[in-house]
Amino acid sequence: MSKFSSQDVQRLGLLARTAISDDQAAELAPQLESILDYVAKLSSVDTTDTEITTQVTGLVDVWREDEVKSSKLSREELLQNAPSTQDGYIKVRRVL
Amino acid sequence: MVWDKLPELVEKVRAGEVSAVSLVQQSIDKAKESEDYHALLEINNQALEQAKSIDERIAKGEKDGALLGIPFVAKDNFLTHHTKTTAASKLLDNFQAPYQATAIEKLEAEGAIMIGKANLDEFAHGSSTENSAYGPTKNPHDKSRVPGGSSGGSAAAVALGIVPFALGTDTGGSIRLPASFCGVVGYKPTYGLVSRYGVIAMASSTDVIGPITRNVSDSGYLLDILAGQDPLDSTTIEREKSYQSKAHNLKGLKVGIVSEHMGEGVDSSVKASIQSAIDKLKEAGAEIVEIDMELNELALAAYYVIAPAEISSNLARYDGVKYGVSAENAGDLLETYLKFRGEGFGEEPIRRILTGTFVLSSGYQDAYYKQAQKVRTQITEEYARAFEKVDVLIGPTAPTPPFKLGEKQDPLSMYLSDSMTIATNLAGLPAISLPVATDDLPVGLHLQGAQRTDKKLLDIAMSVEDLL
């Protein structure tokens, strides 16, 4: 049974905020399916007593003092890549 | 001129035998001469100016700097001044970084000069550099073949002699695979040893930065400069005192061969080259032990759940609001997102974003993502058991020699190129790929060590390099 239809792919695309055309979806569906078929072999491993990996070198809670420091960068430099700005702010499209 | 080892080259610059300008000019000339290979995406047009100011400093007697006047290239996912940073994506076509990566800052502080940015698979997603939105890099040994990926431009630039070293990133093999395919040395440090501040994130739990060099001692020399904790990257770990490599005694060295890496699915010419390297080690007095690592075989499957999950999160920041080319005629905010990302990302990033979104989605997270992270724990434990018995694990870096451009159309068959390097990343271990002498296409010997034993691994690698 096919796990993925083109519609499923487009639904995932919407969740990921990435538009997927009909042609792309038709091409991606079998590819995603073969990737998921391949990774399905993980289910054969008994992991009942295994903890999940959360950090690989054993670091926990790396803290620093919460100090206020001034930025080395100017507002202009920080905004230079934004496609649309106004009065020193990033301009965003209307949400409501 | 062929590049000397880095400390020798620096000595010549210091002594005034060669100028920084002449080295940078040599790099740029070679880059232009090698344009056909498409190793670089952009040349830093201020590199000569920077070299001139270094020469002026030297003339005034200011001769400090472990990389004084040395040219290099960085993979185009390092944020740098003087050039754009595109990650080989159309989406960042005109991105000018406001600050530089810590790694670049450290190299420049030692007097190194970045002459350009190297090609890569878009956002480092790939094993061949064919996924670059600006076209593939070609293998320096055979133009019809791939250089490996995703740091293909960096490895090709070193193999072509454009620069004596390059910076790459390795999330599942992206330094070692291209090093193997291009016949150069590629070093992947222990996870967290080198700061990733200012490097475009791919899969944060496995991403590392490392050097691609002409020899092992240069890799150690560079790691000595790059390693160390950085307040700007909270995953960085304590470093060892020095990484300057010294020969390690091979007599009595316990060398493990992962049986699964010398079995079916490995090209016979690769197997023969690796076997002859193993024979040389045996002659030198090393003790060879075969080790079964069944879980290692599952690493690729675990990676292709964990990495896409992290990628889908990390790439969420590309929303067309903060940077990138705006989707001009989009209506509302949702449409801006959909359009900007749908049009901007290439095929492979989209595949990974969707796979990651799926494995993290409600109802599937436990079966895919959590199970993969548990298998990852078992893979790490299997390595720990192996390193109780041996000093180093040895095998091929890649199952095949460099393949033809366009040969691997099916995404899964491309993923399999990383089957020997990927487990290292899941366990956070250090590893290196060394070129093995062949009559034909390059083959890489893969050495893996225990976590946080980078110095020992480099020392062993240096002695193995002498044997090969």
> pLDDT of B205-253, one tens digit each?
999 999 999 999 999 999 999 999 999 999 999 999 999 999 999 999 9
- Dihedrals phi, psi of B184, to nearest 5 degrees: -130, 180
Instruction: Answer whether A53 sits within 8 Å of B96, measured CB to CB.
Output: no
Summarize the confidence of residues A41-59 as an average pLDDT: 96
Residue A13 within a domain? yes
How close does chain A come to B412, measured CA to CA in Å? 6
CA distance A15 to chain B (A): 7
Average pLDDT over residues A75-96: 89
Query: Is A89 within the bounds of a domain?
Result: no
Tell me, yes or no, if B190 comes closer than 8 A to chain A by beta carbon: yes
Q: Do A36 and B355 touch (CB under 8 A)?
A: yes
- Residue B329: pLDDT band (50, 70, 90) is low
Percent of chain B with pLDDT over 90: 94
Asked if A50's CB is within 8 angstroms of B374's CB, the reply is: yes
> What is d(CA B367, CA B232) in angstroms, rounded to the nearest whole number?
34
Mean pLDDT of all residues belonging to chain B: 96
B131-188 pLDDT, tens digit each: 999 999 999 999 999 999 999 999 999 999 999 999 999 999 999 999 999 999 999 9
What is the band of B1 on the pLDDT scale with cuts at 50, 70, 90? low
Q: Is residue A38 part of a domain?
A: yes
Nearest CB to B326 within list A24, A43, A84: A84
Tell me the C-alpha distance between A17 and B397, whole Å. 37
Put simply, the answer to whether A81 touches B376 (Cβ < 8 Å) is no
Residue A32: inside a domain: yes
Q: Do A50 and B304 touch (CB under 8 A)?
A: no
Q: In Å, how far from its chain's centre is CA A86?
A: 28
Count of structural domains, chain A? 1
Q: Is residue B393 within a helix (H) or strand (E), and if so which, with residue range?
A: strand B392-396
**Whether the predicted pLDDT of B427 surpasses 80:** yes
Checking if the pLDDT of A95 tops 80, the result is no
Q: Indicate if the pLDDT at residue B288 is higher than 90.
A: yes
Q: Which residue, among B337, B347, B375, B413, would best test binding to A if mutated, counting the most A CBs under 10 Å from its CB?
A: B375
The pLDDT score that the predictor gives to residue B324 is 77
The length of chain A is 96
> What residues of chain B lie within 8 A of the CB of A16, using their CB?
312, 316, 341, 353-354, 356-357
A90 falls within a domain: no
| Partners of residue A47 in chain B, C-beta under 8 Å | 371, 374-375, 377-378
Q: Is the pLDDT of residue A56 over 90?
A: yes
For residue B354, give the nearest of A16, A64, A72 by CB distance.
A16
Query: In this complex, do B373 and A20 lie within 8 Å of one another by their Cβ atoms?
Result: no
B150 or A71, higher pLDDT: B150
Q: What is the pLDDT of residue A1?
A: 40
Let me know if residue A14 belongs to a domain: yes
Chain B positions touching A25 (Cβ under 8 A) are none
CB contact under 8 A, B375 and A45: yes
User: Whole domain around residue A37: which residue ranges?
Assistant: 6-43
- Flag whether the ipTM exceeds 0.90: yes
* pLDDT of amino acid B2: 86
Under DSSP, the state recorded for B183 is: T
Active site (catalytic) residues of B: 75, 150, 174
Per-residue pLDDT tens for B15-27? 999 999 999 999 9
**Per-residue pLDDT at B332:** 85
pLDDT tens digit sequence for B301-327: 999 999 999 999 999 999 988 887 665
Domain B1-468 has CATH 3.90.1300.10: yes
Please state the rounded mean pLDDT for residues B375-384.
98
B122-141 residues touching A, CB cutoff 8 A: none
Question: How far apart are the C-alpha atoms of A7 and A90, rounded to whole Å?
Answer: 34
Contacts 24+ apart (CB under 8 A), A89-95: A90/B321, A90/B322, A92/B321, A92/B333, A93/B330, A93/B332, A93/B333, A93/B336, A94/B332, A94/B333, A95/B332, A95/B333
The pLDDT of B179-202, averaged and rounded, is 98
pLDDT tens digit sequence for B41-93: 999 999 999 999 999 999 999 999 999 999 999 999 999 999 999 999 999 99
All structural domains of chain B with their residue ranges:
1-468
Residue of chain A whose Cα is closest to the Cα of B367: A43
Written as one letter, the residue type at B182 is C
Query: For residue B389, how many other CB atoms are within 10 A of its CB?
Result: 10
Decide: B460 and B434 in contact? Cβ < 8 Å: no
CA distance A15 to A10: 9
